[in-house]
Amino acid sequence: MRENTDTRARIQEIALKLFTEQGYEATSLREIAEALGVTKAALYYHFRTKDDIVASLTEDRHAMVEQLIKWAQDQPPTLESRREFVRRYADELFGSHHHAFIRFMERNQTALRDHPKVERMRALMTSLVGVLCDEEDSTTDRLRSSMSIFTLHAAWFLLKDEDITDEERKTAALRVALELIERSPAEQ
């Protein structure tokens, strides 16, 4: 079973790379199989269509985001809980291929616009940002909280040409994200 899991993960990794570099619509299953060094039949054992690959990628991300949201909902609504939430999200985003998935989504927006799994991802991202906000928060505080999450994502796009390590990118993004969820005493 471990070999099937490894093969599935490798297919996802290669497909994600090709979808991002060439575009979702321009990448064929044959190209994915060739990049993996397997036959199309071997690829079909795991995924029958490109859409199945995208669905599996989004399902993995859904599970991570849902788990993080559940954790946050079980915490007291304190500043320290929000800080820990942002730290945990940064760990997930920088510790796996999730940043590559986000880059893929950004580069293939038109092709994926009506994909149901992608629509669900958008809704989950709204819920993710909502965890950082209280009902009585001002518009400014809601925007600031939202920007803390987007800062973590932006580090992959805005700092991509910087000559820094992923850890340095994460440290800089996390510092800014945590500053954004802080509220001045006059705003509290």
Domain-located, residue 3: no
Runs of H (alpha helix) within 23-39: 29-36
Does the pLDDT of residue 90 top 90, yes or no?
yes
176 within domain boundaries? yes
Confidence band of 102 (pLDDT split at 50, 70, 90): confident
| Domain annotation covers residue 15 | no
Q: Within a domain: residue 27? A: no
Q: How many CB atoms lie within 10 A of CB 136?
A: 6
Q: What percent of the chain has pLDDT over 70?
A: 94
Which of 113, 128, 151 shows the shortest CA–CA distance to 25?
Answer: 113
The tally of domains found in the chain comes to: 1
Q: Examine residue 161 and state whether it is found in any structural domain, yes or no.
A: yes
For residue 29, being part of any structural domain is answered with no
Domain of residue 164 covers 54-181
> Residue 117 above 80 pLDDT?
no
Q: What is the structure's pLDDT at 16?
A: 92
User: How many angstroms separate the CA atoms of 95 and 137, rounded?
Assistant: 31
Q: Is residue 141 part of a domain?
A: yes
pLDDT greater than 90 at residue 115: no
- The mean-pLDDT minimum among 22-26, 95-99, 111-115 falls in 95-99
Q: Distance from CA of residue 135 to its chain's centroid?
A: 25
Query: What is the per-residue pLDDT for 188?
Result: 46
The answer to whether residue 25 sits within a structural domain is no
pLDDT exceeds 50 at position 125:
yes
For the chain, the average pLDDT equals 86
CA distance 99 to 159: 13
Rg of the chain in Å (alpha carbons): 18
The pTM of the whole model exceeds 0.85 = no
Q: Quote the CA–CA distance of 166 and 5 in Å, as a whole number.
A: 26
Q: Which residues of 73-106 are buried (b: 16+ CB within 10 A; e: fewer)?
A: eeeeeeeebbbebbeebbebbbeebbbbbbbbbe
**Residue 2 pLDDT:** 52
